[in-house]
């Protein structure tokens, strides 16, 4: 019998209202059993989609002009509402994903922490990017006008939920949190693999919107076919940016649609990465069993369904590399497969592994055992030589799940050549000791051009959410190498600069007024002036320096 859920309605939430779709229905599935989960979710059509985008456009002015404290309190309220529904959210997410309870509770905590982190960003206000070049009427040979700059939100944003993170990269995840923090209404396209989880979190956001007295169009949650409603959402002229986490094919399809619009818009898509890990000679002289166990844990965690999973490892040719692979075999063979997120993802993993294993010059290094549930294939590690890796593009493709390829390199020159052939990646990891620094120095400049985050003596899985984090990289890791989808810098994706020249004080937005009513740090005449040192009290800002 299908599993029931008493409180779920199976509808989209359009501008605060539960809305039954006019299209077909979809259900969630428990991937451990392939059991259908109720309720069925009705899919909206394009006319109903237009209701959501029109409401978002109507809501833009109210959200984009909020003062910092009200805005921050709204974001924190979403976190509070999600925590209040936490038990129900975790229980449903476990059913829809097959992920264990500790993972789901950790992801819930990360989701609420992200929202509160962005609330602190909004309160502090540096993302507004205030710059003021005061007038210099007596400057020669030409006077200078009063020019002020701030960053403003782009407009309504479309966000697509990720399959592998039903909370932290989903309804209230990093894309939604950073867009709302920027002042952009969000229309969230739920992932059909976890519709119930999306509804529960969507309700929490809707309640927070209502609590804050904001226009209900600030947030809508929609269910619909990706090939039609997803594309129609990106095509809608109201939408000004897109956040996406998923496959390369899905991301590039949205990019093509966005680029073909009469007004092209940015698509911030995180897509494909195999996250190379490089072992240098010195690092393989210590505890190989400990290193191998950590590697296997990183490969197999969450059944390998993490965008930072180490799908590629480089080891030196010779005894040290061979000993490491022997340790990997000892660590992996007792490991059982974990339930993958969907039957489709498990099928894709099997196809990818079959393709990898059938390549000339690729051999099976180690394999675990199948898991106890459906859709839980045995994790695998394959091996090859650098020469083969350099010549075969199939070996550069991501296999989403617990699979990894070990490549033997015979020289620094060969390692550098392999690094240069890599596609864009989210991460690269160096395992080394001080005896390896000279060799590593020749590889590091190559990696800087290929990846968004470089680690030493660690593992790429586990992404800290903070101010300095970069979770991005050159294509195909992401569609825009200048951005990150994790960390406070993610807010910059949904902002643009506007300059105001000789605008009277009474007409200036609060962020650039002389009195600095929002108490923002500002750059005045090129010098950063902390809020506590601003002019304040309505005093006119005057130029300083030789040209004043």
Return the active site residues: 270, 307
Helix (H) or strand (E) holding 18, with range, is strand 17-19
Q: 3-class DSSP state for residue 173?
A: coil
Q: Which position has the token pair 């990891």?
A: 429
What's the alpha-carbon Rg for the chain, to the nearest Å? 25
What is the distance of C-alpha 142 from the center of its chain? 47
Q: Are 52 and 229 in contact (CB under 8 A)?
A: no
Taking phi over 0 as left and psi of -120 to 50 as alpha, with beta for the rest, 90 belongs to: alpha
DSSP character at residue 138 = T
Q: Where are the alpha helices (DSSP H) in 401-436?
A: 412-421
What pairing do the DSSP bridges indicate for beta strands 219-222 and 495-501? unpaired
What distance, in Å, lies between the first and last C-alpha atoms of the chain? 79
Taking phi over 0 as left and psi of -120 to 50 as alpha, with beta for the rest, 275 belongs to: left
The backbone torsions φ and ψ at residue 427, rounded to the nearest 5 degrees and listed phi first, read -140, 160
What pairing do the DSSP bridges indicate for beta strands 425-431 and 451-456? parallel
Q: Which two tokens stand for residue 250?
A: 């899905």
What b/e string do you get for 473-490 counting C-beta neighbours within 10 Å, with b at 16 or more? bbbbbbbbbebbbbbbbb
């Amino acid at each position: 019998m299908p599993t029931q859920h008493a409180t779920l309605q199976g509808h989209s939430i359009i501008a605060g209202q539960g809305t039954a779709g006019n299209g077909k229905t979809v259900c969630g599935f428990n991937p451990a059993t392939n059991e259908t989960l109720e309720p069925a979710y009705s899919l909206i059509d394009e006319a109903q989609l237009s209701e959501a985008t029109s409401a978002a456009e109507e809501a833009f002015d109210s959200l984009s002009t909020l003062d910092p404290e009200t805005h921050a309190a709204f974001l924190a309220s979403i976190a509070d509402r999600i925590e209040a529904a936490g038990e129900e959210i975790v229980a449903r997410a476990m059913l829809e994903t097959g992920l264990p309870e500790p993972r789901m509770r950790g992801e819930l905590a990360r989701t609420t922490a992200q929202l509160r982190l962005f609330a602190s960003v909004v309160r502090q206000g540096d993302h507004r990017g205030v710059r003021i070049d005061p007038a210099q009427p007596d400057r020669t040979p030409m006077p200078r006008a009063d020019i002020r700059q701030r960053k403003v939100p782009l407009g309504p944003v479309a966000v697509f939920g990720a399959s592998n993170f039903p909370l932290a990269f989903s309804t209230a995840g990093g894309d939604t949190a950073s867009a709302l923090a920027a002042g952009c209404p969000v229309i969230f396209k739920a992932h059909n693999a976890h519709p119930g989880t999306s509804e529960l979190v969507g309700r929490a956001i809707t309640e927070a919107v209502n609590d804050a007295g904001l226009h209900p169009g600030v947030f809508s949650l929609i269910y619909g076919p990706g090939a039609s409603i997803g594309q129609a959402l990106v095509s809608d002229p109201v939408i000004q940016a897109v956040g996406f986490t998923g496959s390369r094919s899905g991301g590039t399809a949205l990019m093509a649609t966005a680029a073909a619009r009469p007004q092209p818009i940015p698509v911030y898509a995180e897509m494909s990465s195999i996250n190379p890990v490089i072992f240098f000679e010195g690092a393989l002289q210590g505890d190989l069993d400990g290193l191998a166990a950590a590697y296997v844990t990183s490969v197999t965690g969450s059944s390998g369904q993490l965008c930072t999973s180490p799908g590629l490892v480089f080891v030196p040719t010779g005894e040290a590399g061979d000993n490491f692979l022997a340790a990997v075999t000892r660590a992996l063979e007792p490991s059982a497969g974990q339930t993958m997120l969907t039957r489709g993802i498990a099928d894709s993993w099997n196809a990818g592994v079959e393709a990898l294993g059938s390549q000339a010059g690729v051999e099976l290094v180690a394999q675990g055992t199948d898991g106890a549930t459906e859709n839980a294939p045995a994790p695998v590690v394959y091996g090859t030589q650098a020469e083969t890796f350099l010549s075969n593009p199939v070996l550069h493709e991501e296999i989403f799940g617990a699979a990894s390829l070990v490549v033997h390199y015979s020289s620094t020159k060969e390692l550098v050549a392999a690094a240069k052939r890599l596609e864009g990646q989210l991460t690269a990891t160096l395992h080394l000791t001080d005896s390896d620094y000279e060799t590593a120095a020749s590889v590091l400049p190559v990696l800087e051009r290929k990846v968004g985050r470089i680690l030493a003596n660690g593992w790429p899985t586990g992404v800290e959410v903070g101010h300095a984090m970069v979770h991005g990289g050159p294509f195909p890791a992401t569609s825009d190498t200048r951005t990150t989808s994790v960390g406070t810098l993610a807010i910059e994706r949904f902002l643009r600069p506007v300059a105001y020249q000789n605008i009277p004080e009474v007409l200036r937005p609060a962020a650039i007024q002389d009195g600095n009513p929002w108490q923002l740090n500002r750059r005045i005449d090129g010098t950063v002036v902390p809020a506590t040192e601003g002019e304040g009290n309505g005093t006119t800002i005057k130029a300083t320096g030789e040209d004043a």
